[in-house]
């Protein structure tokens, strides 16, 4: 790993595949079988993809379960795709190695496993050390800080006040606007309708949602956040992109974020 240790190349340049060694033990499990267990993972950032992935030394992967297969999702620099077969189940294009003849010679002998955005069955549980992680690997260049505050926060939807507090938890997340998490006692739940939507975040946990006629899925809360986001437990946040938020009497501009187009579509 000495070559990799010398190749830290961040912050990530746009349009370039970059990588660096990780320092956490990472495991992937299907059923009762551990298909990868590594203390030398490599974080890889591919061009045009918003989150990193993990590649592993081939010796840390159950290569006895892999056979060359047909191409999987479009991604740069793949040399060979591999299917994984376990207990009679076949997982197409679950792993790949990189063509190391170009810019990534240090990734020779490494295998990556498909995860973020995969729609077909794959690795069922991922762990960093002994904590289960969800959605995608955590990016070491992304911070999520939940800080108790005393700002006066008012949230309105379609001119109707739905929350007001002087004891918010402010969540600062890299490249996203501040999210104002409001204690449940300060939220007008009679003006919100619970919906079945749930989403998961590797930095916060699994969220439940509420809607209004004017703003579908506009509010959410984490009933059981991961320990690092503990202060937001059961607090309710609202998408700044589609609701009106006043902080200390000042109406915030609605930001444009990666969520904007999806929220506008309802």
Does the structure show a pLDDT above 80 at 104? no
Question: What are the phi and psi torsion angles at 185 (to 5°)?
Answer: -65, -20
The Cα 83–Cα 77 span in angstroms is 18
What pTM was computed for the model? Answer: 0.83
126 with 115: CB under 8 angstroms? yes
Cα separation, 139 vs 43, whole angstroms: 8
pLDDT of residue 13: 66
* Banded pLDDT at 2 (limits 50, 70, 90): very low
The model's confidence at residue 109, banded by pLDDT at 50, 70 and 90, is very high
The answer on pLDDT for 72 being more than 70 is: yes
> Is the CA virtual torsion 21, 24, 25, 27 positive or negative?
negative
Q: Is the pLDDT of residue 266 over 70?
A: no
Chain segment 143-176, per-residue pLDDT in tens? 999 999 999 999 999 999 999 999 999 999 988 9
- Could you tell me the domains of the chain? 2-133 (2.170.150.40), 144-264 (2.170.150.40)
Tell me the two tokens of residue 126. Answer: 């991922």
* Closest by CA position to 182, among listed 212, 158, 150: 150
CA angle centred on 211, ends 207 and 213, rounded to 5°: 170
The CA R_g of the chain, rounded to the nearest whole Å, is 21
What distance in Å separates the CA atoms of residue 193 and residue 183, rounded to the nearest whole number?
A: 17
Per-residue pLDDT at 101: 76
**202-226: pLDDT as tens digits:** 999 999 999 999 899 999 999 999 9
């Amino acid at each position: 790993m000495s070559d990799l240790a010398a190749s830290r190349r961040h912050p990530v340049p746009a349009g370039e595949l970059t990588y660096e060694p990780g320092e956490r033990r990472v495991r992937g499990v299907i059923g009762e079988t551990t298909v990868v267990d590594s203390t030398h993972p490599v974080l890889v950032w591919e061009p045009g993809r918003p989150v990193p992935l993990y590649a592993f030394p081939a010796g840390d992967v159950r290569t006895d379960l892999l056979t060359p297969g047909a191409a999987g999702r479009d991604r740069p620099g793949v040399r060979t795709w591999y299917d994984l077969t376990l207990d009679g189940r076949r997982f197409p294009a679950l792993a790949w190695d990189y063509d190391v003849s170009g810019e990534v010679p240090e990734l020779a002998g490494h295998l990556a496993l498909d995860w973020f955005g995969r729609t077909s069955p794959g690795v069922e549980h991922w762990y960093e050390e002994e904590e289960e992680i969800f959605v995608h690997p955590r990016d070491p260049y992304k911070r999520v800080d939940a800080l108790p505050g005393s700002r006066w926060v008012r949230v309105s939807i379609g001119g109707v006040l739905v929350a007001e507090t002087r004891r918010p938890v402010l969540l600062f997340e890299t490249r996203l606007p501040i999210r104002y998490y409001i204690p449940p006692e300060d939220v007008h739940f009679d003006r919100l309708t619970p919906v079945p939507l749930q989403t998961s975040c590797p930095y916060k946990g699994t969220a439940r949602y509420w809607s209004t006629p004017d703003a579908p899925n506009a509010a959410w809360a984490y009933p059981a956040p991961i320990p690092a986001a503990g202060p937001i437990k059961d607090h309710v946040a609202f998408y700044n992109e589609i609701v009106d938020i006043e902080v200390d009497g000042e109406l915030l501009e609605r930001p444009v974020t990666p969520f904007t187009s999806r929220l506008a579509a309802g």
